[in-house]
Structure 1
Amino acid sequence: MSNHPPIIPSRSDSGIPYYQTYEESLALWPVDYEAFYLSTRFGQTHIIASGPKDAPPLVLLHGALFSSTMWYPNIADWSGKYRTYAIDIIGDKNKSIPVDVDGTRKGYADWLLDVFDNLGIKKAYMVGLSLGGLHVMNFVLRAAGRVEKAVLLSPAETFVAFHQNFYKYALGLVEPNGVDNFLKWMMGDRYVLHANFAKQFHAGVMWQDERRHSKPKADGFPYVFTDNELQSVKAPMLLLLGEHEVIYDPQSALDRASTFVPGIEAEIVKNAGHVLSMEQSEYVNKRVLSFFT
């Protein structure tokens, strides 16, 4: 389906087993796509693009360790109306190749500005899940003029701090059965990841690469935005949270967002947890499109 040959990593690249699982997940992509790299100040950014080239741009930012392949249940609906750009977040486990990620909030916004500029995007719609939602909020606060409308799905921190259990399960990922325990905690009995995607997630967890595991910084992520920051949001925003969210209390996040973010639309989605774009894809796909139009 891709019009671009994938970049072949060097033989010394420890990510080769991971790249193979990424391609297997990409086989789930239900529409035509182009996969390609863009140069930025911070390294090579990998992008999966779908939809009509003359349609309005929609930028998608994935959850941590999930990569852009996670959007396969959503992309058919969204790329029917938009030129979608699923962007592998630099510094996370995915196909982007980080060189000089400074890991600060300003640095991440500058990285996305490079991506927008190199794609020729003046202004885009944006959707981000978890870590991606945190990136979207950060970008809206630093480059509001480049965002038409923004959707945050289960954003990491952003409005409220992580529950202590998050660190327990996240730090336990590399233990025996750690991945299964983490996914069970996050998704319960509601949803099972496709075998291809589960294999990719596991490979990402096990891939040891210093460049793709930046140490947290005081001015980096995760981050809970201040009241003043939230009050300064200029772009129209939709917040969707799962009723079975476990990384924090979803009602507390919704209440704080609704109190401080001007004009935000916020709701709790039934029968969904953290990865609501997969767990309730049909509802999320329609809700996002109705918000954009």
Structure 2
Amino acid sequence: MVLFISIYICPNRLLPISISNIHEVLKMKKASIPAATETSLHFKTAKRQSSYDRKYQESLLNWPVPFISFFVPTRFGSTHILSCGPEDGTPLVLLHAMGFSSTVWYPNIEVLAKKHRIYAIDYIGDLNKSLPTATPASREECGQWMDDVLRELQLDTVSLGGISYGGFLALNYTLYAPHRILKLFLLSPAATFVELHPTFIRRIISIAALPMKWNIRRFLGWLSKHKLNSSMVNQFHAAFRYGSLSLKVAPGVYSDDELRQLQPPLLLLLGDQEVISDSGQAYVRATELCKTIQAELLPGLGHMLNLENPAEVNKRLEQFLHS
């Protein structure tokens, strides 16, 4: 069956194409995403949605390669995806950090898209471009949502990567559907191997309750040991200023048995200045339990590894994915 989807190529132009001829679109200029025609449950009103969408679009100006933007239907609503790279490349699915959306991958895309077909997914329940009708309420439902996405993309097997909450989701799906995962990489996965620090939880509550620019900057300055791109800061601020999270599955710690079950090659990168949990303990537990793991503590880095030192992260991702 050919899947037909709507691809936004440039402002004021909507082009329906199929997965089978999508490579023709990839030859065109960089896409621009117009405002959503529906209002997300997260943003409540069209005005708030539009205010967020503008900041999302500004962040996409950092995206270094041509891309396409589209939605796929799932049982939980329409999921927004950014895609780029060679059509015949190995599919690589990327899951972002909470509050940042798929635009967070801009420092890594040029390297990752050399040999991989990228699908950077705005996961349902977070503040992004997806349009949920419901939110997954269990780890099993998170797996069902990802199954729906891959079915609509006509992908049987993929490599998978995630950062922060996206890392937690990526490992969850690897346990849910191990036969579909070729390789798995995790950057600073939220919880997953060790409990979150209570300080992190308090700070998340603080920015949700007081989403002023000064509070957002203070939070991001604590989260990252390096200054973040201003457009990413502005988008993160807009997400919490105009939207409300609907995530129902908190990141948790996987059991010893679950971690021993992991089958695909696994790359784990952690910052030795991590603040949301104890990265040293996470490193020890992961390397003791995961049979196929390559793990590294990166010196001088906090939570947002790919934004703080993309060169070092990209070098390791390239070595892992292309080996």
TM range (shorter): over 0.9
Whole-angstrom CA distance in 1 between matches of 2:205 and 2:85 = 38
1:38 alignment partner AA:
V
Q: CA deviation at 1:221?
A: 2.3
Q: Deviations over 1:180-228 (max 9, x none)?
A: 221111124xx2122211110000111234xx423x4xxx321111111
Match of 1:140 in 2: 174
Whole-angstrom CA distance in 2 between matches of 1:103 and 1:28 = 33
Q: Is the 8 A contact 1:169 1:178 kept in 2?
A: no
* TM-score after normalising by structure 1: 0.93
Match of 1:178 in 2: 215
Match of 2:268 in 1: 239
SS at match of 1:152: strand
Q: Is the 8 A contact 2:32 2:57 kept in 1?
A: no
Which of the numbers 227, 232, 256 marks the counterpart of 1:197?
A: 232
2:198 alignment partner AA:
Q
Match of 1:213 in 2: 246
Q: Which has the higher contact order (CA 8 A, sep 6+)?
A: 1
Q: Deviations over 1:20-79 (max 9, x none)?
A: 100110111110000110111111000000101111101110000010001111001110
Whole-angstrom CA distance in 1 between matches of 2:292 and 2:118 = 25
Whole-angstrom CA distance in 1 between matches of 2:83 and 2:316 = 21
Whole-angstrom CA distance in 2 between matches of 1:124 and 1:89 = 17
Match of 2:197 in 1: 163
Q: Deviations over 1:59-114 (max 9, x none)?
A: 11000001000111100111011001100011100000111223210011111111
Q: CA deviation at 1:6?
A: 5.7
Please say if 1:78 is aligned against 2:151: no
Which of the numbers 107, 111, 114 marks the counterpart of 2:145?
A: 111
Whole-angstrom CA distance in 2 between matches of 1:126 and 1:249 = 24
The list of structure 1 runs, each at least 4 consecutive aligned residues, that deviate by more than 2 angstroms after superposition, is 3-14, 174-177
Q: CA deviation at 1:9?
A: 3.4
SS at match of 2:297: strand
Whole-angstrom CA distance in 2 between matches of 1:70 and 1:12 = 25
Which of the numbers 89, 95, 98 marks the counterpart of 2:129?
A: 95
Whole-angstrom CA distance in 1 between matches of 2:33 and 2:98 = 25
SS at match of 1:239: strand
Match of 2:251 in 1: 222
Match of 1:260 in 2: 289
1:155 alignment partner AA:
P
Q: Is the 8 A contact 1:48 1:68 kept in 2?
A: yes
Please say if 1:38 is aligned against 2:72: yes
Q: Is the 8 A contact 2:125 2:136 kept in 1?
A: no
Q: Is the 8 A contact 1:9 1:16 kept in 2?
A: no
For structure 1, the residue ranges without an aligned partner over 5 or more in a row are none
Q: CA deviation at 1:233?
A: 1.0
Q: CA deviation at 1:119?
A: 0.7
Whole-angstrom CA distance in 1 between matches of 2:158 and 2:300 = 30
Match of 2:309 in 1: 280
Q: CA deviation at 1:262?
A: 1.4
Using the TM superposition, name which of 228-237 and 60-69 deviates more. Answer: 228-237
Whole-angstrom CA distance in 2 between matches of 1:145 and 1:5 = 36
Q: Is the 8 A contact 1:159 1:224 kept in 2?
A: yes
Which of the numbers 102, 105, 120 marks the counterpart of 1:68?
A: 102
Q: Is the 8 A contact 2:135 2:246 kept in 1?
A: no
Whole-angstrom CA distance in 1 between matches of 2:286 and 2:129 = 32
Give aligned-pair identity as a percent: 39
Matched positions, count: 285
Q: Is the 8 A contact 1:89 1:96 kept in 2?
A: yes
Whole-angstrom CA distance in 2 between matches of 1:100 and 1:85 = 22
SS at match of 2:107: coil
